[in-house]
A and B are shown apart, each in its own frame.
Chain A
Amino acid sequence: MNLKEYALNPALYDELLTASGRARPGLAPLSNFLRRADPHTLALKRDAADLAIKTLGISFTVYSEGTNIDRQWPFDIIPRLIQAEEWRRIETGLKQRLRALNLFITDVYNGQQIVKDGIIPADILASSKDYRPECEGMRPKFDVWAHICGTDLIRDKDGCMYVLEDNLRVPSGVSYMLENRNISKRILPELIERSQVLPMDDYPSRLFDMLCSLSPRSIKAPEVVLLTPGIFNSAYFEHAFLAQRMGVELVEGPDLMVDTDDCVYMKTVQGRSRVDVIYRRIDDQYLDPEAFRADSMLGVPGLMRAWRAGNVALANAPGVGVADDKVVYTYVPDMIRYYLNEAPLLPNVPSYLCSNPEERAFVLKNLPDLVVKPANESGGYGMYIGPRETKRSTREIKQKIEANPRNYMAQPIISLSTVPTLIGDSLEARHVDLRPFILQAKDSYVTAGGLTRVALVKGSLVVNSSQGGGSKDTWVVMNAKKDKD
């Protein structure tokens, strides 16, 4: 079965086809390919992709029932396409957003002018569990705290792209984005060429340059390391992948030590060697058992001391979580206006804060039609999706909201756009989101496209890989027809 029998739902936004079933401008090469392709060809391509994934060893780890299961990366061969012109607008919007967020974090730990000016209520910050008093008064280089950000974008049925959340702490997925492109290059080379896809392979070198620029010592080749919690972390594959692509050491907590000079050293076969920049993929609370959780075996005792002394750069900086909170999120458009004096280019999903009595009343009354999210969870855990829940879970979420309203926010259900996806031997519409990656130090950079995650279960809106989601390559395509030029 090919695209001719594709069941397009005109009530939803399809990324490839318009409501009348025609290819969107510039996306014809893929739709033509899919119209002509027979199931056998597609099945062969999928087998080739599976084999590539196997031999490349692309996997992710799911922790369940006390053991780690290494699963192969679920990849769908049909790419998700975005026109370059639209992408340029999104890119500008993402940079704008991250600049504002970094100014916000600097402000939060240095006087909180934004609270004094009445833009954000004081209790929102005071009650944030990711506010770190240890960061007060700190001014990291370039005043940038969140150097690497993975923003989740979703598109509603009206075609509008919304920001769903800003992942500032330790966003993951970029290695899968890069590997997906590698697989596409192996299995759909002609189509990539015909579609004029913007490259994204330069991400690791951009990341490396950005990290080097953070070095507190002005030396020619600063020592950059990637700090991983280790092999049992679900994103370990990515940590190893990025370290390799950047040519930096992949270190674990026990590899590093902080000496009495408040400098960080790594233990090598030569002896010890000074470290300048740490791209840490460990959550704040495990970073330094001296400062945070004393039982952390993953961290490095004294690391916060070294960071505060300005002897080592941490990317992302500790304390960024304060801006990556689903309640703080609702204020980002206000931050953009406040700090940058610009109009926000990318809208937020409309949100209701349970801390606000009126909005809470609305949420509690309309639970079956809303998505409710805890303020500080990631990976889709703890999420309540109204139309799918039982009466019992509705009762439970009600109690939770009433007990701790600050910890919850709600959003209307966004129907999420669809993309043709190979299910069995037919093409079916499946919902997707998009996670581009943004870098910021002295300048900003956005990946051309990002990681498209797809809910493989029919009708499902949950795209997380830990919960049955898959992924697609994302192609930002130059518009082949340049009529207007």
Chain B
Amino acid sequence: MLSRVAERLYWFGRYLERTENTARLISVYSNLVLDLPKVGFVWESLVNITGFDTQFRQRFSTASERNVVKFMFDDPACSLRACAGSARENSRTTRDLMPNEAWEKMNELHYLLKPDLSGRINRSGRHEFLSQIIDLCLELTGYLSGSMSRKEPYYFITLGRNVERADMTTRVIDVACLNLMGRQAEFDEQDNILWMGVLQSLNAYQMYRQQVQDRINGPEVVEFLLKDPAFPRSVHHCLAEVASSFKHLPRHQLALKAVNRAKRAIGRAVTTELLQTQGLHDFIDQAQADISTTHNKLSQTWFLS
């Protein structure tokens, strides 16, 4: 398999996952705002999660709902449209390795996001639109996992998906903690809803409930999202998936070493302590650096230099 192709499949996997995650984030935030009429709702934090704060501020002066959603829909660099576009560009050059249906779904997604989206920004049509996007992403993923042989192309897409997932989960945790941790007890009643929102934005609510019987609380949520070995979007699980994909690829020693290091660091974290000492933000920073090291190692090993 060509190194360049491996690289594009990996990025296809990442961008496809990012598209799905972004759509889910917007959707969850749009619901959350209905449950929290009294709290000054922070749409800005949605932009913070994506990490494109600077780009946003260049375009808009206020982080109003409309502006944020517009930005997340159609910004040329970091929106849903941009993610789906990048996924399509990467798959366009590698479509021969995927089932045809996956490519057809990719095109559907592209054509859904291509036209003027201003009519989709209003709350009324937004939910359906976002569900459509999420569904298409899942259908596409379904075709990949249902009909791709477990060979190199499949593993590079899987790597992209899991590296992106791990990264996204750390971002969601980070922003949630910045917003929620420093707050006073008066907001306590809303905390429940806000932590639920955090779980929902990673599609983790149901699985969390089954795993944790206690009432929803910050430390347990963070613990679950970081370390649960079974939940597919927990950082630990994503990294384990990365490690297992690595093992199917030739010359994997360096990359495997990097991801195992990242995984061990997650395993060692004591969440309650981190939350009490305000050390969580630094810890997440380190986790993101570890993920990025893993990315660099895999890129050095298999991609076109």
Contact = CB atoms under 8 A, between A and B. Distances in A.
Contact of A57 (B3, B93, B104, B249): B104
B107 A268 contact: no
B104 A255 contact: no
Interface stretch (A81-89, A242-250, A373-381, A469-477): A242-250
B4 A240 contact: no
Given A231-B89, A240-B93, A269 B249 contact: yes
B3 A269 contact: yes
B211 to A, nearest CB: 37
Given A55-B107, A57-B103, A57-B104, A255 B93 contact: no
A240 B3 contact: no
Interface residues of A, number: 22
A56 interface: yes
B96 A255 contact: no
Given A56-B104, A57-B103, A255-B304, A270 B1 contact: yes
Contact of B111 (A54, A231, A255, A271): A54
Binding site secondary structure of chain A: mixed
A218 B5 CA distance: 28
A177 interface: no
Interface string B151-171: 010000000000000000000
A266 B2 contact: yes
A240 B96 contact: yes
Contacts of A54: 107, 111
A470 to B, nearest CB: 21
Nearest to B6: A269
A250 B104 contact: no
A230 B2 CA distance: 14
15 contacts: A55-B107, A57-B107, A231-B89, A240-B93, A244-B95, A250-B96, A254-B4, A255-B2, A267-B4, A268-B1, A268-B2, A269-B1, A269-B6, A271-B250, A271-B251
A269 B302 contact: yes
A251 interface: yes
Contacts, number: 59
Given A231-B89, A250-B93, A270-B250, A255 B4 contact: yes
Nearest to A57: B107
A238 interface: no
B5 to A, nearest CB: 8
Contacts of B302: 269
A57 B93 CA distance: 12
B96 A243 contact: yes
A244 B251 CA distance: 27
A252 interface: yes
Interface in B82-136: 89, 92-93, 95-96, 103-104, 106-108, 111
Interface in A21-46: none
Contacts of A251: 2, 4
Contacts of B1: 268-270
Binding site secondary structure of chain B: helix
Contacts of A231: 89, 92-93
Contacts of A254: 4, 304
Interface string A245-282: 00001111011000000000011111100000000000
Contacts of B249: 269
A231 B89 CA distance: 8
A270 B93 CA distance: 20
B1 to A, nearest CB: 5
A55 B93 contact: no
Given A57-B92, A240-B96, A270-B251, 19 more contacts: A54-B111, A55-B104, A57-B107, A230-B93, A231-B92, A250-B96, A251-B2, A252-B4, A254-B4, A255-B3, A255-B4, A255-B304, A267-B4, A267-B304, A268-B3, A269-B1, A269-B2, A269-B3, A270-B250
B95 A240 contact: yes
Task: Give the residue among B95, B106, B251, B302 with the most A Cβ atoms within 10 A.
Answer: B95
Contacts of B93: 230-231, 240, 250
Interface string A299-326: 0000000000000000000000000000
A250 B94 CA distance: 9
B13 to A, nearest CB: 15
Given A240-B93, A244-B95, A244-B96, A55 B108 contact: yes
Nearest to B4: A255
Contacts of B3: 255, 267-269
B103 A267 contact: no
A426 to B, nearest CB: 29
A269 B299 CA distance: 11
Nearest to A251: B2
A50 B66 CA distance: 35
A242 to B, nearest CB: 10
A308 B24 CA distance: 57
Nearest 10 Cβ contacts at the A-B interface? A244-B96, A269-B302, A57-B107, A267-B3, A55-B104, A269-B1, A269-B6, A270-B250, A255-B2, A255-B4
